Structure 1
Amino acid sequence: MSILRSLPRTLPRVATPAIRSYASAASPSISVTSTRSNASAPALANIEASWKSLPAEEQFEVYQQLEELQKRDWKELSVDEKKAAYFVAFGPHGPRAPTMPEGNTQKVFLYTAAAVAAAFGLFTFARSRAKGPAPTVTREYQEQMTEYMRSQNQNPISGVSSEGYKGKGMVTL
């Protein structure tokens, strides 16, 4: 069993996927502490800074290592291991990488402010060219409509023409 435990550490970095899958399939009970080399401990300590410079193969190895670490009790993990696990899972890389280049925030703000100012200017111009309120919006007109509804006996069950009606009728102002 000691040969199987040392197998993942002795694999070359450019090992074929078949050898890697054999190594991981042959020793599923290997604990993470025994497979972790001293070189990977500093990598986890500063994973945020070194993640982009790591080749995809090493990123996958770190991901697998952290996946195994997370299967243990979280109280046993070091702070660096917890930070690395969080960064790999939720950090600003891959599909979560910022898509807006640096310095575009001001440009977006200025264009948005210009669009809002243009819309406000167009609204103000349209309001200045519009006529006043319609004659049917006045209180006198609405009171006359209520009286007309009463004279026509409209809605005699629950409306303006009903007995004991205490509503405002057509008056909305």
Structure 2
Amino acid sequence: MLRNTICRANITQLSARRFASIQAISKASITDLENRWEHMPTNEQESLVAKLTQRQTLPWKDLTDAEKQAAWYISYGSWGPRRPVLAKGEASYILQGVLLGLAISIGAFAWIRQYGGEDVKSMNKEWQLKSDEYLKSKNANPWGGYSQVQSK
């Protein structure tokens, strides 16, 4: 019993010393991190991540707001692989290209229909009527009633 109490007191003292040795990160090094992060040297980024990792072992209420924001940005911010694919203004450029392609394809379709020559011979009215007569003679259309057996 006494041994457990002493061990707990030692652990509390050790963790208090460890937490006391972790100093707050200077506000200047984490201010405006969103704009500076990708231009910072790799070793500076790694040291900042290490300091933030140490600070995050503290109770969350002991971290400053700037440290919380910096930790969030490093973990979930839009840098590296999470950078947006399209920059500002590129979406409208892509939309213009899609609309131009659509207009060209519609124009080509209309031009081919207008000046493409004769219609296919199976598209005229006589062909369609002869097809209907042939289907009636063979009872080949189950949806229209040609092949239905009429019971008496």
Q: TM-score by structure 1 length? A: 0.50
Aligned-residue CA RMSD (Å): 4.3
* Change in CA separation of 1:148 and 1:77 when aligned onto 2, cut-off 3 Å: farther
Give the paired residue count: 131
8 Å Cα contact 1:92-1:98 kept in structure 2: yes
Unaligned runs of 5+ in 2: 1-16
Does residue 148 of the first structure (1) align with residue 134 of the second (2)? no
Does residue 35 of the first structure (1) align with residue 15 of the second (2)? no
Code of the residue aligned with 1:118 in structure 2: it is I
Code of the residue aligned with 2:21 in structure 1: it is S
Q: Please, which of 72, 85, 95 is the counterpart of residue 86 of structure 1?
A: 72
What secondary structure, in the 3-state scheme, does the structure 2 residue paired with 1:50 have?
Answer: helix
* Change in CA separation of 1:70 and 1:160 when aligned onto 2, cut-off 3 Å: farther
In the other structure, the counterpart of 1:19 is none
Does residue 134 of the first structure (1) align with residue 123 of the second (2)? yes
Q: TM-score by structure 2 length? A: 0.55
Instruction: Render the CA deviation track for 1:94-123: whole Å, top value 9, x for unaligned.
Output: 334456666555544443333222222111
Greater fraction of residues in helix = 2
Does residue 117 of the first structure (1) align with residue 117 of the second (2)? no
| CA apart distance, 1:57 | 0.9
Q: Distance in 2 between matches of 1:32 and 1:58?
A: 23
Code of the residue aligned with 1:112 in structure 2: it is V
In the other structure, the counterpart of 1:54 is 40
8 Å Cα contact 1:69-1:77 kept in structure 2: yes
Which deviates further from its counterpart, 59-68 or 137-146?
137-146
Q: Which has the higher contact order (CA 8 A, sep 6+)?
A: 2
Unaligned runs of 5+ in 1: 1-29, 166-173
* Change in CA separation of 1:50 and 1:34 when aligned onto 2, cut-off 3 Å: farther
